[in-house]
Amino acid sequence: MKERDFQDFFAMCRARAIMQALEEDRYDGDLTTLATIDPGQTGCGVIRAKAPGVIAGIAVVEQVFRGIDPGVSVTPVVGDGEKVTAGDTVLEVCGGMASLLVAERTALNFMQRMSGIATRTRAFAEKISHTEAKILDTRKTAPGLRYFDKEAVRIGGGRNHRFGLFDLVLIKDNHIDASGGVAQAIERAQCYLARRGVTVKIEVEVRSLDELRSALGAGLDIVLLDNFSVEGLASAVALAREHSPKVEVEASGNVGLHNVAAIAETGVDFISVGELTHTVTALDLSMTIRFD
């Protein structure tokens, strides 16, 4: 898939998820707003942070409000990736009062989740900023929200790993066992890609130094060291660099803020952290309405 195709696919995922979220909330109408708000009434809403964190989702909020009413104006006060403290204004939205009230919760839901992910990602990235290692996300995302989760990781200072099953060959333990071994699984993948004329990287998960040697001998682009100790990671990185300096090394498994710096200091290129998106604490945000 070409880069342009990827961008079109991501845009489709975002638009479809936003419209689905709006539809599940209002269905055939916001009864409270219809009953209490004059259709011609206008006003503004101010979204503020109620806790410190990193903001993510400005463009998503804008798309949510304009999905309800293209005439709503959105004026950001801070940008994606910027830190805020409690009480800081994030953005202002102005337009029809009914439109603001209908879109409010959906907009906040997206931004709170994305900002929570960005905040956690920033904490990990800052822990390893003295090294060359980069934080990666995983596919452990909320169903239907992968675009938003991964975009939030990127905004927070992490890197996106594969988006789905289609943009990287990632040979994991079950693939290896079912194929009869590391070398056999890699050979099968190489042959398949060659037959299809597909150019993507091959990454292989290894569980021991013996599997690492087999993987390096068979040829690959990225090696994933799963659940290695810090000492084991250092040995594996040295072996990989000696055998093939161009092979990138990723560490995963049991990674937390308490040990991510030590893992980064072993010389790995990437550290994948599942908790960024599978255990999310939303950043507390609220919207206050100002009536015209």
226 catalytic residue (yes or no): yes
127 catalytic residue (yes or no): no
How many other C-beta atoms lie within 10 A of the C-beta of residue 248? Answer: 16
The active-site residue, picked from 50, 134, 139, 140, is: 140
265 catalytic residue (yes or no): no
The active-site residue, picked from 104, 137, 151, 205, is: 205
The active-site residue, picked from 26, 50, 83, 105, is: 105
14 catalytic residue (yes or no): no
23 catalytic residue (yes or no): no
The active-site residue, picked from 30, 80, 211, 226, is: 226
The active-site residue, picked from 172, 201, 207, 213, is: 172
Q: Which residues are catalytic?
A: 105, 140, 172, 205, 226
